[in-house]
Amino acid sequence: MIFAALAAAAWAAAAADDPRPAKPAPSPFMQTVKKRALGCPVGTHPVEGARPLRCVMDRPDDGVGVEAAAPAAAVELAPARYEPARTSDFVVDVPSGWHRTDAWSDEVPTLSVEHDARGGGRPVTLMIERVAPGQPDYRTLGEAIAAEKEARAAREAPRRRVGGRAARETFVAGESRSVYVDAGDGAYYIFSYSAADGEFKTYERAFARLLSSARFIK
Sheet containing 44-46: which strands, arranged edge to edge?
Answer: 44-46, 55-57, 74-75
CATH number of domain containing 99: 3.40.1000.10
Cβ-contact 75, 59 below 8 angstroms = no
In this prediction, residue 198 has a pLDDT band, given cuts at 50, 70 and 90, of confident
pTM over 0.75: no
Range of the domain at 141: 82-216
Question: Residues 112, 42: one domain?
Answer: no
Q: How many domains does the chain have?
A: 2
Question: Residues 88, 187: one domain?
Answer: yes
Of the chain, the end-to-end C-alpha distance in Å amounts to 88
Q: Please state which of the ranges 34-38, 95-99, 151-155, 158-162 shows the lowest mean pLDDT.
A: 34-38
Query: Quick one: average pLDDT of 196-213?
Result: 93
Question: Residues 190, 115: one domain?
Answer: yes
Q: Over 90: is that where the pLDDT of 69 sits?
A: no
Q: Over 70: is that where the pLDDT of 166 sits?
A: yes
Instruction: Indicate the residue among 37, 52, 75 that finishes a domain.
Output: 75
Cβ-contact 138, 131 below 8 angstroms = yes
Question: Residues 137, 201: one domain?
Answer: yes
Three-state DSSP class for 90?
strand
User: How many H helices and E strands in the chain?
Assistant: 4, 14
Question: Residues 109, 167: one domain?
Answer: yes
Instruction: Indicate the residue among 75, 102, 118 that finishes a domain.
Output: 75
DSSP 64: T
Written as one string, the DSSP assignment of 119-187 is SSSPPEEEEEEEE-TTSTT---HHHHHHHHHHHH--EEPPPEEETTEEEEEEEETTTEEEEEEEEETTE
DSSP 21: P
Q: Which residues pair with 46 in a beta bridge?
A: 55
Instruction: Indicate the residue among 26, 53, 75 that finishes a domain.
Output: 75
Question: Residues 87, 71: one domain?
Answer: no
In this prediction, residue 79 has a pLDDT band, given cuts at 50, 70 and 90, of confident
Q: Over 50: is that where the pLDDT of 37 sits?
A: no
Question: Residues 92, 151: one domain?
Answer: yes
Cβ-contact 75, 57 below 8 angstroms = yes
Question: Residues 131, 91: one domain?
Answer: yes
Pairing state between β 110-115 and 99-103: antiparallel
Question: Residues 157, 67: one domain?
Answer: no
Question: Residues 146, 69: one domain?
Answer: no
Question: Residues 27, 87: one domain?
Answer: no
The answer for residues whose C-beta is within 8 angstroms of residue 121's C-beta and 6 or more apart is 196
Question: Residues 166, 196: one domain?
Answer: yes
d(CA 10, CA 1): 14
